[in-house]
Amino acid sequence: MGLVKIQKIMSNELAKRTFISRPPEPPHEFLLNDPTDSIFVGITRRFNVPFTWTFNTLTNPHISVVGITGSGKSFFVKTFLIRASYVWKTNAIIVDWAGEYKGWVKQSGGTIVSLGKGDYINLMDLAGMKPLDRSKQIMNSLDILTDIVNFPEQRRLTSEAIEQAYLNAGFILSSAPPPKSESPTLKDVAKLLEEKMQEGTYAYPAELENAIYRLRQFSREGEDYFARKSTIDLDVLISSGLVDIDLSGLPDERFRALAALFLLQTLKEKMRAEGWSSTKGLRAVIVLDEAWKVASDERSDAITIIREGRKYQFGLIVASQNPTDIHEAIFSNVGTNIILKIKFQKFLDYIQGSLNFSQFIRSEITKFGVGQAAIDMAFQTSSQFPSTFVINRIVGEVPLDVYTITLADLLTENEIKDQALTKEYSFEKPFLMSKFVDNNINTDTIDVILAQLDARNRLVDLREFVRILIASKLSKDSVVAFLRSSGISDSLISRAFGLGDMGG
Ligand SMILES: Nc1ncnc2c1ncn2[C@@H]1O[C@H](COP(=O)(O)OP(=O)(O)OP(=O)(O)O)[C@@H](O)[C@H]1O
Ligand SMILES: [Mg+2]
C-alpha cells in the first residue's frame, strides 16, 4: 500500500511539471526530410524547424484532420494534394460530401464527377472483381446503412437474389468477369424478389415484401442513382490527376454514404490487386471529408484500409469537424493526426483519450488561430520523445478564391457544340469585388452576395446568379449592367431573366 501511495504522489508531481514546461519536439531528423521525397507543411513553433512530411519513417501514409469549421481542414487537404502531385505525381480522388472542393478542382484543371447529376454508379458493377466478392461488399454497405442485420431472413433473401442476378447475366460467381461484360443492376435484383413474391409459394411473404421494399429505396425510378449503368470508370479516374467526386447532388446522407463506401471498396480492391511497389511516393490519395458513417462504422472499408497500414499504394485522408464521427481506430492507427482548433471539451476528451497528448497541448489546441495545428505522428521506430508538436501555421499553396458562373443550362444544343462560345466565366475574388464596386454596389450588399456564392461553393449557373443579385435588392438595370460589363451577351442575359424567378 505504502509503495502505491508514493508512486501516485510522484506521478502527480510529474504531471504538474509536464504542465508547466513546454514539451519538446521530435528531433530534427524526424521533421526535416529530403525535399525531393517529402512535403513541406509548416514551421514548428518551439524550435522553428521546417516540418516536411514523408511516410517513409511513419507506420503508414494515412492522415486524419480534425478542427472546427473554418479552422483550415480543407486548406490543408488542398495544399497537401498540390504538393504531393509536384513531388510524387500523386493522383487524388476527393470523395466530396458537400461539394466544397469542386470549385477549386475545376480551377486546378481537374475532373469533376457529379453523382446524381448526370453521372451514375452501378453498385453491381464488377470493375474486375468476382461477383461473389462484390455481393459481399454490397451486403456490407447495406449492413452499415440499413437495419438489415436485424432481419437475417431478409438479409439471406437479398444476398441470394444478388448472386442470382449475376448468374442470370451469365457470370460465374467465383471467377473474375470477362472484359467489357455488362453487370446487372439492383433493379434486376428487386425484380427477382418480386417474381418470387408472385409465385406465392414462399413461406414468409412479409419478409420478402420488406426485402423488396428496402431494395426499391435504391432502385426506384428517379432515385436509381446506383441502379443504372455506370457512367464512370474508376480505372481511368484513379490515374487522372485531380478528381472530385461531388456527392452533393445526391438526395441524402445515406445515398452519399453508399457512394463513398462503393468508391472505397472498389479502389481498395484495385490497389490490392496491384500490390505494393517499391517505387517511392504515393500513387494516389483518397480524401474523405465529413464522411459520416463511412468513417465512424467499424465495418467500413475506411477503417480496414487504415488498419492494414502500408499494404496499399495509396493514402487515405479522413477529415471532420466532429472528431466523434471518426472511429477511435482511425486516430490510433493513422500515421499522422493533424489537429486544428477544437473548442468542445467532449471532442478534446475523445481525441486526447486516443492520442495521449499533454494538458499543455490540449490547452493550446483550444487557442489555435486559422491554420495552426498540433501534429501527432506514429513513427516506425519506437520513439523516446513526445510525438505531438505544434506548427505555427500550415503554409499554403492554395490560390485566390475563384467564383465561377456557368452558362451551360441556358444554352441550346447548338450553342453547347459551338467551340468558340464561352460557357463559363471565372473571377478571382478581388476582381469580382472591384467589379461590384465599379457598378456602385455597396460593401454590405457585396458581403451578402459573396456569402450566398460561398454557400454554393463559388460555382453557380447564370440563372441562380441573377436570382442572388435580385434577392440582394439590386435593381434589374444594375444586374443587366453588371452582366454586360462582364461580357455576357444580351441574348443570354434575357434568357437568364426569363427563366429566373424575378420575385415579382
Ligand atoms: N493555413 C492557412 N493559411 C491561410 N489561410 C487559411 C489557412 N487555413 C485556412 N485558411 C482560410 O480560412 C478559410 C477556412 O478554411 P477551410 O475552408 O480550410 O476550413 P475548414 O476547416 O475546411 O472548414 P469547414 O469545416 O467549414 O469545411 C478559407 O478561406 C481558407 O482559405
Ligand atoms: Mg472544409
Say if residue 333's pLDDT is above 90: yes
- Using DSSP's 3-state secondary structure scheme, residue 308 falls into coil
The pLDDT of residue 4 is 44
Residue 278: the pLDDT is 58
Closest CA to 353 of 327, 318, 378, 389: 327
Position 431 scores a pLDDT of: 81
Q: How far is the CA of 69 from the centre of ligand 2 (A)?
A: 7
Nearest CA to ligand 1 atom 26: 69
Average pLDDT (78-95) is 94
Supply the pLDDT for residue 85.
93
Pocket of ligand 1 (CB under 6 A): 67, 69-75, 100, 321, 370-371, 393-394, 396, 398
C-alpha cell at 455: 454557400
**pLDDT at 500 (0 to 100):** 44
Picking from 263, 273, 326, the residue whose alpha carbon sits closest to that of residue 63 is 326
State yes or no: pLDDT of 466 exceeds 90.
yes
| Confidence check: pLDDT of 2 > 50 | no
Predicted confidence (pLDDT) at residue 239 exceeds the cutoff of 90: no
Name the residue of 65, 75, 339 whose CB sits within 8 Å of the most ligand 1 atoms, as the mutation to test its pocket. 75
Closest atom, ligand 1, to C-alpha of 100: 27
Write the Ramachandran bin of 49: left for phi over 0, alpha for psi from -120 to 50, otherwise beta.
beta
pLDDT reported for residue 409: 79
* pLDDT per position as a tens digit, 397-415: 766 678 889 887 788 888 8
% of residues, the chain, pLDDT over 70: 92
Which domains are present in the chain?
40-119+231-391 (3.40.50.300), 131-216 (no CATH), 402-499 (no CATH)
- Residue 374: which residues within 8 A CB-CB, separation 6 or more? 338, 339, 357, 361, 364, 365, 368, 388, 389, 390
Does the structure show a pLDDT above 60 at 20?
Answer: no
Name the least confident of 115-129, 302-316, 411-425. 411-425
For the segment 136-146, the average pLDDT, to the nearest whole number, is 95
The average pLDDT across 105-132 equals 92
Region 386-400: mean pLDDT is 85
* Residue 36 grid coordinates: 525531393
pLDDT band for position 5 (50/70/90)?
Answer: very low
CA of 341 to the centre of ligand 1 (A): 11
List of residues 6+ apart from 152 with CB closer than 8 A: none
The per-residue pLDDT of the chain, averaged, comes to 88
Phi, psi of 404 (to 5 degrees): -120, 130
- Tell me if the pTM is above 0.85: no
Q: Residue 72 in contact with residue 91, Cβ under 8 Å? A: no
Taking residues 249-270, what's their average pLDDT?
92
Which set of grid coordinates corresponds to residue 365?
Answer: 489546441
- Residue 214's pLDDT band, with cuts at 50, 70 and 90, is very high
Ligand 1 atom with the smallest distance to the CA of 398 is 31
CA quadruple 29, 31, 37, 40: dihedral, nearest 10: -150
CA-nearest of 23, 54, 58, 53 to 378 is: 58
Specify which of 295-299, 306-310, 496-500 reaches the highest per-range mean pLDDT.
Answer: 295-299
| Residue 265 C-beta-side C-alpha neighbours within 13 Å | 26
For atom 16 of ligand 1, the residue with the nearest CA is 72
Q: Are strands 111-114 and 242-246 parallel, antiparallel or unpaired?
A: parallel
Among 7-11, 158-162, 474-478, which range has the highest average pLDDT?
158-162
Q: Where are the beta strands (DSSP E) in 324-383?
A: 336-339, 373-377
CA-to-CA separations, 298 to 127, 293, 306, in angstroms, rounded: 25, 9, 11
The pLDDT confidence band at residue 418, using thresholds 50, 70 and 90, is confident
SS3 (DSSP) at 290: coil
Q: Measure 297 CA to ligand 1 centroid, in angstroms.
A: 27
Q: Closest ligand 1 atom, CA of 372?
A: 1
Q: Which ligand is the nearest neighbour of the Cα of 288?
A: 2
Which ligand 1 atom is at minimum distance from the Cα of 79? 1
Q: What is the pLDDT of residue 442?
A: 87
Beta strands in 264-399, from DSSP E residues, in sequence order: 284-289, 314-320, 336-339, 373-377, 388-391
